[in-house]
Amino acid sequence: MYKEYYGFKELPFNVIPDPKFLYRSPGHRDALAYITYGIFQKKGFIAVTGEVGVGKTTVINAFIDLFHKSLAIAFVFSTKFPFEQLLYLICKDLGLDVEGMNKAQMLLGLNEFLIQQYEKNMSTLVIIDEAQNLSIDVMEELRMLSNLETRDRKLLQIMLVGQPELEDLINDNDLRQLKQRIPGICRIGLLNRDEVESYVKYRLQVAGAINGSVKFTEDAYDEISHFASGIPRLINILCDRVLLIGYVKDSRIIDGRLIREGIRDLETPENPVNDRRVRLR
Ligand SMILES: Nc1ncnc2c1ncn2[C@@H]1O[C@H](COP(=O)(O)OP(=O)(O)OP(=O)(O)O)[C@@H](O)[C@H]1O
Ligand SMILES: [Mg+2]
């Protein structure tokens, strides 16, 4: 396939949130710094939001890669779970044996675990991805969970990660107490034109592109940026398609014309790839 043709060691535009490929745009770098500061300053709650495909999970994975040795981390994805189920997943991910336990027993087990961690001078972090799916009731229970503390320190840090709807949830009047505990929300923004170019070049380089094996022209970057509205996942989908077209046409130069061809391939009126869910706010 095109991997060998261009001499890549691996595919440059996979759509999995692999932190090895993390391009530290100013927005992604700020997010990583905000998360690190919030967790190590023991702020209790932190929240990260961003549009679909902007790189939230990739940033979280990069954070976990960096700090998994100094923190106990539970990383769970929220669907519309009741709290008890979420608590079960959190406990399991922390390595607790909670099979068959009820909510009170799980809370007791978790509390014991947190105190053991505290005695070892280790912090515990719960990351909830897709947190825009949480209900108000579950958010409120999470707030209670974050109340577990010793006289001098919070025992548990909670990181909420989600699409912009998460901000609406946090701003809900019924969650005023929770909101007060979040020291500002970190929003990961969209890449601008130049960042799109750097992003593409970075991913090509990490994938093992060597000089001359493939070259994107300036107008190619313009077209990609316009199509993808600065969203990395859309950039990946488009670039993957375009590299395939380049391979079929035996072209190592990717120009605007090839990009437009890729966009035509991907988009049909019934199936727009960039479904314009981007609300620039
Ligand atoms: N800064 C970045 N550097 C490299 N790749 C990135 C970056 N940001 C996003 N990506 C890539 O874009 C794709 C989507 O990223 P990711 O899954 O992290 O987005 P998300 O914000 O979590 O999306 P969703 O809202 O759907 O959960 C992945 O393939 C990821 O590797
Ligand atoms: Mg995600």
Q: What is the CATH number of the domain that holds 227?
A: 1.10.8.60
Shortest-distance Cα residue to atom 1 of ligand 1: 23
- Strand, coil or helix: 157: strand
Mean pLDDT, the chain, integer: 92
Residues 44 and 98 in one domain: yes
Whether 11 is in a domain gets the answer: no
Per-residue pLDDT of 241-251, as tens digits, reads 999 999 999 99
Give the mean model confidence (pLDDT) for residues 174-189. Answer: 91
Give the mean model confidence (pLDDT) for residues 247-264. Answer: 96
Residues 122 and 247 in one domain: no
Q: What is the CATH number of the domain that holds 91?
A: 3.40.50.300
Q: Which of 167, 188, 209 is the last residue of a domain?
A: 188
Calculate how far, in angstroms, residue 53's C-alpha sits from the geometric centre of ligand 2: 7
* Residue 44, number of CB atoms within 10 A of its CB: 19
- Closest of 143, 83, 88 to residue 110, by C-alpha: 88
Q: Estimate the crossing angle of helix 256-266 against helix 218-228, to 10 degrees.
A: 30
Q: Which of 188, 218, 233 is the last residue of a domain?
A: 188
Residues 95 and 226 in one domain: no
Q: Which of 160, 188, 216 is the last residue of a domain?
A: 188
Whether 60 is in a domain gets the answer: yes
Q: Would the pLDDT of 154 be above 90?
A: no
Give the mean model confidence (pLDDT) for residues 255-266. Answer: 96
Domain count, the chain: 2
Residues 30 and 141 in one domain: yes
Domain limits for position 149: 26-188
Give the mean model confidence (pLDDT) for residues 90-118. Answer: 96
Per-residue pLDDT of 33-73, as tens digits, reads 999 999 988 888 999 999 999 999 999 999 999 999 999 99
Q: Would the pLDDT of 232 be above 90?
A: yes
Quickly state the pLDDT bin for 21 (edges 50, 70, 90).
very high
Whether 275 is in a domain gets the answer: yes
Quickly state the pLDDT bin for 276 (edges 50, 70, 90).
very low
Please check whether residue 137 is in contact with residue 130, taking contact to mean a CB–CB distance below 8 angstroms. Answer: no
Whether 108 is in a domain gets the answer: yes
Q: Would the pLDDT of 272 be above 70?
A: no
Residues 197 and 152 in one domain: no
Ligand 1 pocket list (CB less than 6 A): 14-18, 21-23, 25, 28, 50, 52-58, 163, 232-233, 236
Quickly state the pLDDT bin for 147 (edges 50, 70, 90).
confident
Calculate how far, in angstroms, residue 132's C-alpha sits from the geometric centre of ligand 1: 17
User: CB neighbours of 61 closer than 8 A, spacing ≥ 6?
Assistant: 17, 18, 19
Helix, strand, coil shares of the chain as percentages rounded to 5?
Answer: 50, 15, 35
